[in-house]
Chain A
Amino acid sequence: MTDATTLDGPYRAEFDDYFALLKPRVMSLVVFTAAVGLLVAPVGVNPVIAFASVLFIALGAGASGALNMWWDADIDRVMKRTQNRPVPAAKVTPKDAMIMGLWLSVISVGMLGLTANLFAAGLLAFTIFFYAVVYTMWLKRSTPQNIVIGGAAGAFPPMVGWAVATGGVSVESLLMFALIFMWTPPHFWALALFMNDDYTKAGVPMLTVTHGKRETRRQILIYTVLLAPVALAISFTSIGGPVYFAVALALNLLFLKGAWTLWKRAEEAAEADRYASEKSVFKLSLYYLALHFTALLAEAGLRAAQLDWAAWPQWV
């Protein structure tokens, strides 16, 4: 029986393996930021349309994740962190991952176009292209700036969410984009400081590999300094307010303090305590983004309940 060979062969993929191809953890961040982008927009969206749109944006993110796993199977096999992904673990064939990624791209973009509008669908298509082609196929293996420019792919979802509601782009959606874009380098470089061996083995030109950890620490500080004004500027737009400002101020002071600590730290000290500070800055960076977007959601809630502060200054 041919089925027996399929069922017991090396590529015995189950539903969970195909689901893992979509990078569910990345997808959860995409769902959250896209939903916030949609909900804080000044135009109301029918709940069914909003739910479906966020789902299709998440599916688009999953599609680019599957394409990334297809293309990167060789380096995923080398890195400890990624060895158990479905393709390097020989659960899903590379060809299946590619086909799934391509089909999900078509379905997610097409359905978002039908559900929301063509502008949002076009932006989603560009996001998938940027992550799968510009970042995965081109930048990741060729430049230590891979994280900086590739970070744009992760920064698009709130813009797509905003476009679902408004059909366009505005200062607010560009600032949400800039917030994630500027946050990505210090977030990933903090991770790279204590996961350096993995990237070295795989030959990925991470900044820690090409320019060393001292330069990486300096770059983390630079990007964190540049990130703070972007995060605070959102306070004075139509989606910001005093609650967001207070949260952003506290988080940016903490993040700057963390980046400063990493910059001042010698490599010997980091090795001695097994990169405790680097790990805590990485953890802080996760809270940093989640809380900024939660604060934006809180401001939207206050506006809806007409509890917003009318005297709060708005520049745009």
Chain B
Amino acid sequence: MGVGMPIVHETESQKSRKKSNMLLGAVLGGFVLLVFAITIVKMVDGQNMEAFDHVRRPALEEVK
């Protein structure tokens, strides 16, 4: 610890708040990873990533 830095004592409630924040961070991180994994699976499975975009896209039309 450097000279002149204040000594910080965490109270119990600050500690528990910190723990809650860490857990929430982990949940959000997990959600991001899950969405990433779903995206990869859908791409590997070859699902159509193109969609209608206000102009006619012959490549998206079913061949009869």
Residues B13 and A15 in contact, CB atoms below 8 Å apart: no
Within 8 A of A (CB), among B38-53: 38, 40-41, 45
Residues A7 and B14 in contact, CB atoms below 8 Å apart: yes
Residues B24 and A15 in contact, CB atoms below 8 Å apart: yes
B residues near A7, Cβ cutoff 8 Å: 11, 13-14, 17
Tell yes or no: B32 within 8 A of A by CB. Answer: no
Q: Could you say which of A8, A52, A55 contacts B13, with CB atoms under 8 Å apart?
A: A8
Tell yes or no: A307 within 8 A of B by CB. Answer: no
Dominant secondary structure of chain A at its interface with chain B: helix
Tell yes or no: A2 within 8 A of B by CB. Answer: no
Q: Could you say which of B14, B20, B40, B45 contacts A15, with CB atoms under 8 Å apart?
A: B20
B residues near A12, Cβ cutoff 8 Å: 13
How many positions in chain B have a CB within 8 Å of any CB in the partner chain? 15
B residues near A74, Cβ cutoff 8 Å: none
Q: Could you say which of B11, B14, B24, B41 contacts A46, with CB atoms under 8 Å apart?
A: B41
Of B17, B19, B38, B41, the most chain A CB neighbours within 10 A belong to B38
A114 to B41, CA, bound (A): 12
Tell yes or no: A14 within 8 A of B by CB. Answer: yes
A128 to B57, CA, bound (A): 38
A290 to B47, CA, bound (A): 36
A115 to B41, CA, bound (A): 10
A15 to B17, CA, bound (A): 8
Tell yes or no: A302 within 8 A of B by CB. Answer: no
Residues B20 and A52 in contact, CB atoms below 8 Å apart: no
Within 8 A of A (CB), among B14-40: 14, 16-17, 19-20, 23-24, 34, 37-38, 40
Residues B19 and A48 in contact, CB atoms below 8 Å apart: no
Q: A7-B13, A7-B14, A46-B45 are in contact. Are A15 and B38 (CB under 8 A)?
A: no
Chain A positions near chain B (C-beta within 8 angstroms): 7-8, 12, 14-15, 46, 48-49, 52, 55, 114-115
Closest 4 A-B residue pairs measured CB to CB?
Answer: A15-B20, A7-B13, A15-B23, A48-B41
List 6 A-B pairs, Cβ < 8 Å. A7-B13, A15-B23, A48-B38, A49-B41, A52-B34, A52-B37
